[in-house]
């Protein structure tokens, strides 16, 4: 028998439509609540396992208030949302729901979101169980020797990796380019129960669109022009182990559907072949904002919530500057040995200049800079690091006075916004002036740090 669901919705027609959809699918439905006090009474008397929760309800308390209470009680919930403003949606997201259903509802969307939410809740419970278990002291010692740094933010990431490692949960690693997402994926695999099996790494952004499906799922001989022999896909290669899908945000929509089927049904279908069952743990990573990608239709909501069961956010290097000396010295030793040089480290002045730098390329940029510094130095101590002048934090223009392309784009968008009195969408809006989609403009504004102004009319 399927689970019991509580609908908290003050609009009778919408609540009743949801009730019909859920009953038809075999779910048990509690008494419908129109306000937070009613919902709390029903929670106590009927004990639902999932709550579908509107944001705006009868009475002074909102669905966001109830969401906080449900989170404390470890009861799964999904928000029902119309076109709410950004501030409201951010407040709702802060309660960590298992998803959002946008009104008006489609039956298929409701059922898929429920399935994903229940899966995520089950995985979370497994993770909580693992967290509560005392770790063996032998494992605690030097658990991730390949990870360098002692900052609080890095230690929080390693603690999360330690918790989720032994679980079978999908993991989504988020962070800017060069922050070490693949290294964290390797660390999770190394403390998992699959550590003796393969970790297969796939960079989704580096695969040609025409070859992605064959690369991931394989193909039979003769299945398409040029398929002269059978090919084993990356998922089958990782069977029994872990697959790490880097830059998952670059996966085309049609492949996202097939990938979702792998997560849901644990099976693949090679091109020209038959379906095969596989046993693979998925770790994915991206430097993209997947919520923005969902809003613009470039990433599937159901896939996002399948992957986002256990997100790990890697801090950029500028937010963990206390780790710079350790990282720099590690790379100096590495490249000094490679170049057969004797280099003991960095001067205090060099370290200070590095800690004042913004590091847009993160650890990858630091490594490249240390390699170059080792090549350039003639002494045992590196006293000067060739930090790019034009990219120093606070520097806005090159010495020539020219602005960067990003700065020009920002100025251009600001000019359009001023001309449209900060109206983004619709007739006469900045998006129309710039001949671009409103959602794309909003995304660019967010990336460029442009906050929308409220202009009195």
Answer yes or no: pTM beyond 0.85. no
CA distance 182 to 163: 18
pLDDT score recorded for residue 222: 76
Q: How confident is the model at residue 278 (pLDDT cuts 50, 70, 90)?
A: very high
Q: Which of the two residues, 39 and 420, has the higher pLDDT score?
A: 39
Q: What are phi and psi of 449, to 5 degrees?
A: 75, 30
Other C-beta atoms lying within 10 Å of the C-beta of residue 53: 28
**Under 8 Å between Cβ of 271 and 213:** yes
Q: Which of the two residues, 99 and 381, has the higher pLDDT score?
A: 381
CA distance 127 to 74: 13
Q: What are phi and psi of 9, to 5 degrees?
A: -155, 130
Asked whether the predicted pLDDT for residue 258 surpasses 60, the reply is: yes
> For the chain, what's the residue count?
457
**Under 8 Å between Cβ of 208 and 250:** no
Average pLDDT of the residues in 69-86 = 83
CA distance 216 to 261: 13
Residue 314 token pair:
């890697």
Cα(first)–Cα(last) distance of the chain, in Å? 56
Nearest to 140 by CA among 123, 109, 119, 165: 165
Range name among 46-50, 122-126, 168-172, 409-413 with the lowest pLDDT average = 122-126
H helix runs in 218-323, sequence order = 234-237, 253-265, 290-295, 301-307
Q: Which of the two residues, 367 and 143, has the higher pLDDT score?
A: 367
Q: How confident is the model at residue 454 (pLDDT cuts 50, 70, 90)?
A: low
CA distance 360 to 358: 6
Share of the chain above pLDDT 90, in %: 42
Backbone conformation region of residue 81, classed left if phi is above 0, alpha if psi is from -120 to 50, else beta = beta
Contacts of 369 (CB under 8 A, 6+ apart): 385, 386, 387
Mean pLDDT of the chain: 84
pLDDT score recorded for residue 397: 43
Asked whether the predicted pLDDT for residue 46 surpasses 90, the reply is: yes
Asked whether the predicted pLDDT for residue 77 surpasses 90, the reply is: yes
Asked whether the predicted pLDDT for residue 303 surpasses 60, the reply is: yes
pLDDT score recorded for residue 141: 47
| pLDDT tens per residue, range 351-379 | 999 999 999 889 999 999 999 999 998 88
Q: Which of the two residues, 447 and 273, has the higher pLDDT score?
A: 273
Using alpha carbons, list the distances in angstroms from residue 319 to 59, 155, 178, 332, 358: 42, 13, 14, 22, 9
Q: What are phi and psi of 173, to 5 degrees?
A: -100, 120
CA distance 364 to 317: 10
| pLDDT tens per residue, range 88-105 | 877 888 888 888 887 777
Using alpha carbons, list the distances in angstroms from residue 202 to 41, 206, 417: 49, 9, 41
Compute CA 245 distance to the chain's CA centroid, rounded to the nearest angstrom: 12
pLDDT score recorded for residue 393: 45
Q: At how many degrees (to 10) do helices 152-164 and 107-132 cross?
A: 100
Q: Which of the two residues, 136 and 194, has the higher pLDDT score?
A: 194
The SS3 call for residue 423 is coil
Using alpha carbons, list the distances in angstroms from residue 70 to 5, 76, 300: 13, 7, 26
């Amino acid at each position: 028998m399927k689970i019991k669901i509580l609908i908290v919705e003050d609009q009778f027609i919408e609540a009743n439509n949801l009730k019909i959809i859920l009953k038809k699918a075999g779910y048990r439905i509690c008494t419908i609540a129109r306000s937070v006090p009613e919902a709390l009474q029903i929670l106590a008397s009927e004990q639902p396992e999932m709550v579908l929760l509107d944001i705006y309800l009868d009475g002074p308390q909102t669905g966001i208030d109830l969401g906080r209470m449900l989170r404390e009680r470890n009861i799964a919930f999904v928000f029902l949302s119309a076109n709410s403003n950004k501030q409201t949606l951010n407040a709702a997201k802060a309660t960590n729901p298992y998803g959002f259903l946008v009104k008006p509802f489609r039956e298929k969307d409701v059922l898929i979101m429920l399935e994903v939410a229940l899966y995520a809740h089950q995985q979370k419970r497994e993770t909580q169980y693992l967290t509560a278990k005392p770790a063996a002291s032998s494992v605690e010692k030097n658990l991730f020797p390949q990870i360098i740094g002692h900052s609080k933010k890095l230690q929080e990431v390693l603690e999360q990796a330690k918790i989720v490692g032994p679980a079978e949960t999908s993991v989504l690693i988020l962070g800017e380019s060069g922050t070490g997402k693949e290294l964290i994926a390797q660390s999770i695999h190394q403390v998992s129960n699959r550590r003796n099996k393969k970790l297969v790494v796939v960079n989704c952004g580096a695969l040609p669109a025409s070859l992605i499906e064959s690369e991931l799922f394989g193909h039979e001989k003769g299945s398409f022009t040029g398929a002269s022999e059978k090919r084993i896909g990356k998922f089958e290669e990782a069977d029994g182990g872990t697959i790490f899908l880097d830059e998952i945000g670059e996966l085309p929509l049609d492949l996202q559907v097939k990938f979702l089927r792998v997560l849901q049904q644990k099976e693949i279908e090679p091109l020209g072949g038959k379906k095969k069952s596989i046993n693979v743990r998925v770790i994915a990573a991206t430097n993209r904002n997947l919520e923005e990608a969902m809003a613009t239709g470039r990433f599937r909501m159901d896939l996002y919530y399948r992957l986002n069961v256990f997100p790990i956010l890697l801090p950029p290097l500028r937010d963990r500057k206390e780790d710079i000396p350790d990282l720099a010295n590690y790379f100096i030793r590495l490249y000094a040995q490679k170049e057969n040089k004797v280099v003991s480290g960095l001067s205090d002045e060099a370290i200070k200049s590095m800690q004042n730098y913004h590091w847009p390329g993160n650890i990858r940029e630091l490594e490249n800079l240390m390699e170059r510094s080792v090549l350039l130095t003639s002494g045992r101590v590196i006293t000067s690091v060739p930090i790019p002048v034009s990219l120093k934090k606070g520097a806005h223009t090159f010495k020539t006075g020219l602005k960067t392309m990003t700065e020009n784009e920002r100025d251009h968008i600001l000019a359009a916004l001023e001309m449209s009195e900060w109206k983004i969408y619709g007739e006469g809006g900045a998006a129309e002036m710039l001949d671009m989609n409103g959602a794309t403009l909003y995304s660019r504004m967010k990336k460029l740090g442009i906050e929308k102004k409220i202009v009195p009319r």
